[in-house]
A = this chain, B = another copy of it.
């Protein structure tokens, strides 16, 4: 592989002059520039990107940790991150984690090894304090409300919107409500927000049996439907964790020939619109863009983006 020293030797100039030419800097005479460019062209030379990164001490890479890549939460977030990263001349590296603590730790170690300038956790299994500990090695941003933990964060402000959704159900006269969630209330801030909003609106805690967790795909929604059909048939309204998931749930009721409960979706996907479901738009693209900006500015700051409760048109 031909390198900058080869060009220097063959052109008869020094390495630094060659460097100036390939980086289009000043202080090079036109004649010199032409002579060096000629050799560059002849040898089909280009500078090595990795050597540049090493020399500069940064990569312009931002790692994005994703538990899974097939959920709208993550695709929307990634989309927002990419838009902002592109504008700032950064590259987005996708890091699948499956909520595996060992993997998450590996990515933190990669940050420490300067493989990325910053790391964005769209979600995570490790405790926030653990993530926070790695901030000494590089910028880290999470996409959730970090509460008392002083770590940079951009996230959807869900509480008020969940309350609006439950108020909507209350006004419709729903009196036995279920919710669907991705992860258990003990470990997920999102699930906590839903449960908390229920309590605020209805003045009493949500029964544990009314919370169906482990839901990430339409097929899970179907399972949830079967659960409510058989275990809690009196449920008359369900706040699901995705329009797609609501559709999966409806499938179970349709199969059973039973009138489904009133469903509210999330993520503002098309499947919901097709069925005229109310939904919640969390504006995750905006969240992603803001997360990226925090990541490269390195400010310890929290940005909350308000969600929106949407009734079908």
Which residues of A are interface residues toward B (Cβ below 8 A)? 46-51, 53-54, 59, 61, 69-70, 75, 78-79, 82-83, 86, 91-96, 109-110, 112-115, 218, 243-244, 247-248, 250-251, 269-271, 273-275
Chain B residues whose CB sits within 8 angstroms of the CB of A49 once the complex forms: 110, 113-115
The answer to whether A54 touches B50 (Cβ under 8 A) is: yes
Stoichiometry, copies per complex: 2
A-B contact pairs, 18 of them (CB 8 A): A46-B112, A46-B113, A50-B59, A51-B54, A54-B54, A70-B79, A75-B75, A82-B96, A83-B96, A86-B96, A91-B93, A244-B270, A247-B273, A250-B274, A269-B270, A270-B270, A274-B274, A274-B275
Chain B residues whose CB sits within 8 angstroms of the CB of A275 once the complex forms: 274
Interface of A is mostly: helix
A39→B275 CA distance, assembly (Å): 63
Identify which of B82, B93, B250 contacts A61 (C-beta below 8 A).
Answer: B93
Chain B residues whose CB sits within 8 angstroms of the CB of A61 once the complex forms: 93
CB closest chain-B residue, reference A250: B274
Chain B residues whose CB sits within 8 angstroms of the CB of A113 once the complex forms: 46-49
- A70 to chain B minimum Cβ distance, whole angstroms, is 5
CB closest chain-B residue, reference A83: B96
Chain B residues whose CB sits within 8 angstroms of the CB of A112 once the complex forms: 46
Chain B residues whose CB sits within 8 angstroms of the CB of A86 once the complex forms: 96
CB closest chain-B residue, reference A285: B70
Chain B residues whose CB sits within 8 angstroms of the CB of A75 once the complex forms: 69-70, 75
The answer to whether B79 touches A69 (Cβ under 8 A) is: yes
Chain B residues whose CB sits within 8 angstroms of the CB of A114 once the complex forms: 48-50
Chain B residues whose CB sits within 8 angstroms of the CB of A47 once the complex forms: 113
The answer to whether B46 touches A109 (Cβ under 8 A) is: yes
- A313 to chain B minimum Cβ distance, whole angstroms, is 9
